[in-house]
Structure 1
Amino acid sequence: MEKGIQPNKLFVASCLALLVTSLSFGIRAGILGKLGVEFHLSVRELSIIASTAFWGFPLAVVIGGFIVDVIGMKRLLLAAFLLHLLGIVLTVFANGFWSLFISTLFVGMANGTVEAACNPLVATIFPTNKTTKLNHFHLWFPGGIVVGTLLVFLFNRLGLSWQIQVATMIIPTLLYGYLFMNLSFPVTERVASGTSTEEMYRAVFTPLFLVMFVLMFGTAITELFTGQWIEVLLKNVTENAILILALTAGVQTFGRGLAGAVVHKISPVGVLLISAILSALGLYMLSTVTGNMIFVGAFIFGMGVTYFWPTMLGFVSENIPASGALGMNLMGGAGMFAVSVYMFFMGGFYDSIISSQLPANAVLDAYRSAAPGTTEATAFLQAQAVAGPEILRVTLVIPIILIAAFGCLFFYMRGRKKQQLQTV
């Protein structure tokens, strides 16, 4: 490590930056319903706004992956700070669809820029313990979701506006911006090792990388789509839908804190296989059970998605090290892009299910905005109670596919390890 580099302080600042990313996720999930009512937005329009954060993320993370070795991680993180600040302020003063669309895009780009710089930064400052430290770093994503959703729950009880809820993100944003401005950064691990740019590009076209790239679509959709939409999908199945997100995120936070012990006892691919099995079981329960059993399903689902994101990144960094920062950022970009596309289509599908449950020729917005207790409001609530679980049942197909895929990968990696030992 170069002289003047302070790994622990860099790690703390990185965690703060990721905290802002996750707060934006948790708070947005908690206020989507309010935004729809206040600005008369359909679920399709809300899905477009929410998905903007998810395609703004891959846009930034992929661009960042290509330039981080050239301009350095510090400049990228200062750009993230400015984008976060701008996106938060614009959201607070939003007045309709397009202002929410643009502000969410800025926040999404800021989130992607944080990942583009911090993932390779963590891998660089902890070269002998990558998967564990990436899990420790990424525990701040669900950790921030817990904080964000509980803030939404508390502020709603206090009658505070969604604008105040969004504005709370300014404080950690200013903190991480100040810290990064005053710290020295190392060069990326790929640059330090002397791996050429040509070798890096060849690495991201190897069959193993391409397989992991595609599997990232499924792991990201399973985790992030469900989390972002849980309050909308289940709010008429349980009175405390937002607390389901807090529970799943809390399980993730605790689990990622124990990543070192888990990853050392079970191989990364074994962890991914078990994660897919638990995710499928949890998603099935969330889409079928009622009452307090929903929270049991949320707990199992939270266990399932705990290790998906950081273990996918750690697997690539450890098994395809020549891919460097570009490989990690392409993985992150793939995941978020898949979520944005899936969210766009599911928003329209959700609206179509709602419409099918309402009287013929019903105006959707009139039912959505109807006063509580009216016939229209009751009909809309009943339609939502059907639509949410149906979306979850459709999404259940994805972790089922992942079980088969990670099962095959498990046996492939075990065979490759045996072959390497025999060669030695």
Structure 2
Amino acid sequence: MENINKNRLFLASCLALITTAMTFAIRARLETVFGPEGVGLTLEQIGYAFTPAFFGFTLAMIFGGPLVDFLGIKKITWIAFVTHAIGIVWTIMADSMSSLFLATLFVGIGNGMVEAALNPMIASMYTNEKTKMLNRFHVWFPGGIVIGSLVGWLVMDVLGLSWQIMVATLFIPLIIYGGLFYGQNFPVTERVQMGISNKKMFSSIGKPLFLFMMFCMFLTAASELGTTQRIESLLKESVAVPLLVLAFINGIMALGRLFAGPVVHKLKPAGMLLYSAIFTFIGLWLLTVTSGGMTFVAAAVFAIGVTFFWPTMLGFVAEYLPETGALGLSIMGGAGMFSVSLVLPIMGKLMDDANAAEALRTMSVLPAILIVAFIGLNIYMKKRNKTEQA
């Protein structure tokens, strides 16, 4: 770790994640721009146009994960920067479903490369505080969504400026994180530090515990991002400005992740995941029966639920399955984003044919399944810990 400026690399990583997160909030605002009252796309068509943000993310993470070990964290980080830049420019020029699809694909690849490179970098820099520091890093996913939501609201709803100007604000964090990374030395991944072979890494991702966590990642990511990505359509009949509800949800998430350390210490990762699933289920159910000011109460319960999902799933794998390396973290993130790419058109179809409440009720099934799954995980981990201590 000689000549590596951990603080600067961590700050740059947070700015890169802010860029990633702002694309989610701004994309949510673009739903009304390209929707039936704007460009004229149906909600289902918009769902398909938005899916590359997630399967592009998935491809970038799955291919970027092993490439992190072979090419190094630095090169993958700069690939993220370039694809982010292309995606932002293309989004500004988008005027149809196909052009929006391609723009979203480049943004998704950039987002995936950020996660593929920087999750293992943080795990390798903070080997004794993985879950804690990954939660602190992922403060800036909800934090960036808050920033993006407020930017979208100010630029379009308050100032009445064009949506292209809203998208162009993404260049601000992009240029800053590029400047912070420029000229820096990067660490090698933890798998490389530990001397774990490629054969062992690839065989480790076939372990039952890893496959179980990958299945759960499908459901945790869809519960969180499937809901928040379509917030404009889901809550347009419940509140005046759905984007402010998105900012509210992600503000709670950012605060929760900032102070994740004591929660991790008390509950352990498996316990955190169980409580998260319970609150997410209750929150989604409440969103189907509330309106007006009470929507924010339901949103707060939902936010408490989804706060620790993503970083704790990654932290669990980094702590208990370290031999899976950058590939394991990338597969987890990729699985999560791929599940969202599947659920977005389904939600759009439900909203086109029925209503938002039906879509939310359907989504609530996912955390209900997770409650059962994470009860089982807690029982398994307690038995495993007793065996190891014996």
Please say whether Structure 1 and Structure 2 have the same fold, judged by a TM-score greater than 0.5. Answer: yes
Deviation at 1:128, TM superposition (A): 0.6
Residue in structure 1 matched with residue 295 of structure 2 by the alignment: 294
Q: Please report how far the alpha carbon of residue 180 of structure 1 lies from its aligned counterpart in structure 2 after TM superposition.
A: 1.5
- Name 1:395's counterpart in structure 2: 363
C-alpha distance in structure 2 between counterparts of 1:407 and 1:240, whole Å? 37
The CA distance in 2 between the partners of 1:133 and 1:60, in whole Å, is 23
Matched, 1:160 2:161: yes
Q: CA deviation at 1:177?
A: 1.4
Q: 1:199 deviation in Å?
A: 0.9
Q: Structure 1: which 5+ residue stretches go unaligned?
A: 354-386
Match of 2:335?
334
Distance 1:285 1:195 in 2: 47
> 1:257 corresponds to which residue?
258
Shift, 1:38, TM fit: 2.8
Q: Hey, what does 1:46 align to over in structure 2?
A: 46
Residue type at the aligned position of 1:35 = F
Q: Aligned residue for 1:58? A: 58
Shift of 1:240: 2.1
1:184 partner letter: N
Contact 2:238–2:295 under 8 Å retained in 1: no
The residue matched to 1:185 in structure 2 has which SS?
Answer: coil
Distance 1:43 1:206 in 2: 39
SS at 1:288's partner residue? Answer: coil
Matched residues in 2 for 1:24 and 1:44: separation? 20
Does residue 414 of structure 1 match 2:370?
no
1:117 aligns with 2:117: yes
| Cross-structure match for 2:218 | 217
Q: 1:108 is matched with which residue?
A: 108
Query: In the alignment, residue 283 of structure 2 is paired with which amino acid?
Result: G
CA deviations over 1:134-171 (Å, ceiling 9, x no partner): 00000100000001111111121210111100000011
Return the alpha-carbon distance in structure 1 between the equivalents of residues 11 and 264 of structure 2.
22
Contact 2:57 2:334 survives alignment (8 Å)? yes
Q: Name 1:196's counterpart in structure 2.
A: 197
Matched ranges for 1:133-144 at <5 A? 133-144=133-144
Distance 2:236 2:165 in 1: 22
Q: CA deviation at 1:66?
A: 1.9
1:372 alignment partner in structure 2: none
Checking the alignment, whether the CA contact within 8 Å between 1:286 and 1:298 is kept in structure 2 is yes
Letter in 1 for 2:48: I
- Give the letter for the 2:33 counterpart: K
Check conservation: 1:31, 1:152, Cα contact below 8 A: no
Write the deviation string for residues 263-294 of structure 1: whole angstroms up to 9, x where unpaired. Answer: 01111100000000000011111111222111
Quick one: which amino acid aligns to residue 49 of structure 2? I
Rounded to whole Å, the distance in 1 between the matches of 2:389 and 2:79 is 45
Q: Give 1:381's aligned residue.
A: none
Rounded Cα–Cα distance in structure 1 between residues aligned with 2:206 and 2:345: 29
Distance in 1 of aligned mates of 2:89 and 2:67: 27
How far the C-alpha of 1:261 sits from its partner, in A, is 1.0
Letter in 1 for 2:126: F
Judge which range, 325-334 or 44-53, deviates more.
44-53
The range that moved more, 172-181 or 183-192, is: 172-181
TM-score (norm 2): 0.98
Q: How many residues are matched?
A: 388
Segments ≥4 residues shifted beyond 2 Å: none
CA distance in 1: counterparts of 2:204 and 2:15, whole angstroms: 31
SS of the counterpart of 1:267? Answer: helix
**What is the identity percentage for the equivalent residue pairs of Structure 1 and Structure 2?**
48
CA distance in 1, matches of 2:118, 2:345: 28
Aligned-partner Cα distance in 1 for 2:167–2:72: 30
> Structure 2 stretches of 5 or more lacking a match?
none
8 Å contact from structure 1 (residues 78, 181) kept in 2? no
1:12-411 matched pairs, under 5 angstroms:
12-36=11-35, 37-155=37-155, 156-353=157-354, 387-411=355-379
Structure possessing the higher radius of gyration over alpha carbons: 1
Q: Distance between the aligned counterparts of 1:64 and 1:146, measured in 2?
A: 27
> Shift in Å at residue 220 of structure 1?
0.2
Q: Is the 2:350–2:356 Cα contact (8 Å) retained in structure 1?
A: no
Shift of 1:349: 2.6
**Tell me, what secondary structure is at the counterpart of 1:160?**
coil
